[in-house]
Homo-oligomer: A and B are copies of this chain.
Amino acid sequence: MSTGRLEAFSDGVLAIIITVMVLELKPPEGADFAALHDSATSLLTYVLSFVYIGIYWNNHHHLFQICKTVDGTVLWANLHLLFWLSLYPFTTNWMDEEFGRASVVTYGVNLLLAAIAFTLLQRRMMRMPESRERMHEVFGSDLKGKASVLLYVLGIALAFVEPWLGLVPFIAVALIWLVPDPRIERYLQHERELGRTLD
């Protein structure tokens, strides 16, 4: 089973998730800059969730550059990931409207479950016979993935103490992923030099 349609469907879902969050942004009430200032926190949470979805799209894109055939369980592992990502607008919106322990913890749990879903998808794809070797070569240790899970757990714990504090590890995760994954770039570069094309 080729990955073309799985990628197209995931692109569609991610494109919608990243965009519908802007629909939740209410226009400022008032015609002056002070009114815009009141929307500042909404804009900041929007930026954060936009970056997360952007990172997932990027990593998803990389994953399916290496692995080109899938089976039925990968389809469901992918839908499972999309499910948790689809809840971002909901948890972002709650955190934005009622900033506090419960909403930040819930946001963190959502981030954590999406990260776990991504790891499950990646592991499942590592078992595909055609790409097992290449997948292990590229994603073998997955330090970033493990660090993300730890940081999310830390953030959830901190949010119980003080909601704002919980955001620090969440933002740290975004920062460590913003850099494009050198493993894949290096691998693709290496492939090119060997004169082999993946696509």
Residue positions of A touching B, CB distance < 8 A: 1-2, 5-9, 11-20, 22-23, 25, 27-33, 35-36, 47, 50, 54, 57-58, 61, 64-65, 71-73, 75-76, 79, 82-83, 86-87, 89-90, 93-94, 96-103, 106, 178, 180-181, 185, 188, 199
Contact = CB atoms under 8 A, between A and B. Distances in A.
A74 to B, nearest CB: 9
A5 B62 CA distance: 10
Given A5-B61, A11-B8, A98 B54 contact: no
A178 B76 CA distance: 8
Number of copies of this chain in the oligomer?
4
Contact of A99 (B19, B31, B83, B87): B31
Contacts of A76: 54, 58, 178, 180
A98 B180 contact: no
B180 A72 contact: yes
A64 B4 CA distance: 12
A94 B22 contact: no
A8 B15 CA distance: 10
Nearest to A182: B72
